[in-house]
Amino acid sequence: MASENGSPAMESDFPAPIYLVAAHLAVVVAVVHLTMGLYNWLRWLQAGFLVPRDLRWPLFVISALALFIGLLLAAQGRYRRQLYAGGILLMVVYVGGYFVWHATGHRPLLLFGNGATHTGPLIPFLLDHLFAGPVKFLAIVSETALAGALAYLLATEPRSS
C-alpha cells in the first residue's frame, strides 16, 4: 500500500503516543504513591501499628496497586473506558484530597480527628503546598496530566471497548 506521495505507507502495531504518555504518567503516579505509602506505613508498622493513625499510607499502597492492575488490564484492551473513568476519578481524589487534607489541618483520619488550624488566605496557602517539594510537585503535575490524558482517551475511545 502506498501513501499519497507514492512512498510506501508505514504500518505499525505501536500504540498512538497518547497511550504511551498516559501509561508512563500512570507508572509515575503509581510509583510515587507506592513508595510514599510503603515507606510511611512501614514506619508505623515498626512502631507497632498494623493500621496507622494516618490512613493515607495504606490507601496510597492500595490505590497504587490498583493503578498497576489497571495498566495491565488496559494493555490487554480490557475495560478501557471503565479504567479511564476510574483513573480520572482516582486522580481527582489524589489532587483534591491533597489540597483538602492540607486545608482542613492535616487530620490523621483524613477528614476526622484533631487537625492544625491554618491562618491566612487560602490561595497562597495552597500554592505553598503545591510547591512544598519536588516529589509533591511531581505527584500533583503527573496526576493532573494523567487525568487530562485519560479524559482525552475516554472522549475518543470507541464505545465498543
Residue ranges covered by each domain of the chain = 17-156
- Please give the pLDDT value at position 1: 46
Identify the pLDDT of residue 110.
Answer: 59
Helix/strand/coil for 8: strand
Written in H, E and C, the secondary structure of 85-128 is HHHHHHHHHHHHHHHHHHHCCCCCECCECCCCCCCCCHHHHHHH
Task: Render each residue's pLDDT in the chain as its tens digit; 161 residues.
Answer: 445 555 555 666 777 899 999 999 999 999 999 999 999 999 988 988 888 877 889 999 999 999 999 999 999 988 999 999 999 999 999 999 887 777 776 666 556 666 666 667 777 877 787 788 888 899 999 999 999 999 999 999 888 64
d(CA 122, CA 135): 22
Residue 78: how many other CB atoms lie within 10 Å:
11
Place of cell 508498622: 45
Contact 146, 93 (CB under 8 A): no
pLDDT for residue 130: 78
- pLDDT value of position 107: 65
Task: Determine the Cα angle at 110 with ends 107 and 115, to 5°.
Answer: 10
Is 83 within 8 Å of 66 (Cβ atoms)?
no
Q: What is the reported pLDDT for 144?
A: 97
CB count, 10 Å around CB of 53? Answer: 11
pLDDT at site 60 = 95
